[in-house]
Amino acid sequence: MPRNVVVTGSGSGIGAALTTLLRAQGDRVIGVDLKGGDIDADLSTPAGRAAAATAASEAAGGVVDAAVTCAGTSVPGTAMVTVNYFGTTEFLTALRPALAAAGQPRVVAVGSVSGTQPADPDVVTACLAGDEAEALRHAGRAVADGHARRLYPSSKAALARWARRTAVAPGWADAGIPVNVVAPGIVLTPMTAGLFDDPGMKKVMDTAVPMPLNGYLRPEDVARTVLFLVSGANSHITGQVLYVDGGAEATLRGPEVF
């Protein structure tokens, strides 16, 4: 029987690749994107997130079998906080009742290996407290101080911690909803394409995210991993950050187990 799968950021990159794979196996995808999705929504605002979750739930008839959040931005600025973190966590929280109504619900958020890199602790703390205004205040300060690029790892570090906390929280694990994060290395998507136009920037990226196994990822490489995590075959994996990064995290952090 076809499942109802909600995918944010469905119009490009990992979200588009995942949508193709899901539809190929007979699932019904409800795509959420800024423009051109089944549901058009601005996930940078509380109202946009709430409206998107309501519309997705209604489109699925109140039963969402899986939700995958791929929407995000790498443009330095406060949108890294509003979209990458709150655009995922608030959307998924609003969608939880429809997930709980499914027989084998699954949740995957797309994070990043950059979540292991230096972050702004004040931004991370405010995000985890659910205080968007405070998170934006600290993010604005980071931008003003010339540290806007720290906001991306900050948003992804906070997202990973939220997922681990949420996975075992009441209303999630006890409702049979696994919550996991897939953390890619460098993926060749429209969002990252501009980074490689400058040879100097490419060198910086290769140093920051070394990928000794098979180099850069294609969107479908990440999508195939997500496909397993949202399948019925995943019965017990939850609260995990799965690095799909060609060995970047292991290279950067060494042999210790985190």
Least Cα distance to 64 among 24, 94, 19 occurs for 94
User: Is 254 contained in some domain?
Assistant: no
Is the per-residue pLDDT at 116 higher than 80? Answer: yes
Strand ordering across the sheet containing 4-8: 39-40, 28-33, 4-8, 66-69, 106-110, 179-184, 241-244
User: Is 84 contained in some domain?
Assistant: yes
58-78 confidence digits (pLDDT tens): 999 999 999 999 999 988 899
Specify whether 216 is catalytic: no
How do 179-184 and 106-110 pair as beta strands? parallel
In this prediction, residues 86-111 reach a mean pLDDT of 98
Q: How confident is the model at residue 210 (pLDDT cuts 50, 70, 90)?
A: confident
Q: Do residues 15 and 71 lie in contact, with contact meaning Cβ atoms separated by under 8 Å? A: yes
User: Is 129 contained in some domain?
Assistant: no
Residue type, 106: R
User: Is 124 contained in some domain?
Assistant: no
User: Is 18 contained in some domain?
Assistant: yes
**Rounded alpha-carbon distances, angstroms, from residue 124 to 22, 81, 109, 134, 162:** 33, 9, 17, 10, 10
pTM greater than the 0.85 cutoff: yes
In this prediction, residues 99-111 reach a mean pLDDT of 98
User: Is 67 contained in some domain?
Assistant: yes
As a whole number of Å, the end-to-end CA separation of the chain is: 38
In this prediction, residues 227-232 reach a mean pLDDT of 97
CATH number at residue 161: 3.40.50.720
In this prediction, residues 218-225 reach a mean pLDDT of 96
Q: Based on the number of CB atoms within 10 Å of its own CB, is 31 exposed (0-12), middle (13-18) or buried (19 or more)?
A: buried
The strand pairing partners of 32, in sequence order, are 8, 39
Range of the domain at 179: 4-117+153-244
Task: Name the more confident of 155 and 216.
Answer: 155
Largest CA distance in the chain: 53
Name the helix (H) or strand (E) containing 79.
helix 79-81
In this prediction, residue 209 carries a pLDDT of 85
Q: Do residues 158 and 116 lie in contact, with contact meaning Cβ atoms separated by under 8 Å? A: no
In this prediction, residue 206 carries a pLDDT of 84
Q: Which of 85, 152, 216, 243 is catalytic?
A: 152
154-203 confidence digits (pLDDT tens): 999 999 999 999 999 999 999 999 999 999 988 987 667 777 777 887 88
Instruction: Provide the domain count of the chain.
Output: 1
Q: Do residues 160 and 89 lie in contact, with contact meaning Cβ atoms separated by under 8 Å? A: no
Q: How confident is the model at residue 258 (pLDDT cuts 50, 70, 90)?
A: low
Name the helix (H) or strand (E) containing 7.
strand 4-8
Collapsing DSSP states into helix, strand and coil, what is residue 239?
Answer: coil
Report residue 170 CA to chain centroid gap.
22
Is the per-residue pLDDT at 22 higher than 90? Answer: yes
Is the per-residue pLDDT at 234 higher than 80? Answer: yes
CA distance 168 to 154: 22
Q: Based on the number of CB atoms within 10 Å of its own CB, is 105 exposed (0-12), middle (13-18) or buried (19 or more)?
A: buried
Task: Name the more confident of 248 and 93.
Answer: 93
In this prediction, residues 87-108 reach a mean pLDDT of 98
In this prediction, residue 186 carries a pLDDT of 84
User: Is 203 contained in some domain?
Assistant: yes
In this prediction, residues 142-156 reach a mean pLDDT of 95
User: Is 148 contained in some domain?
Assistant: no
Is the per-residue pLDDT at 107 higher than 70? Answer: yes
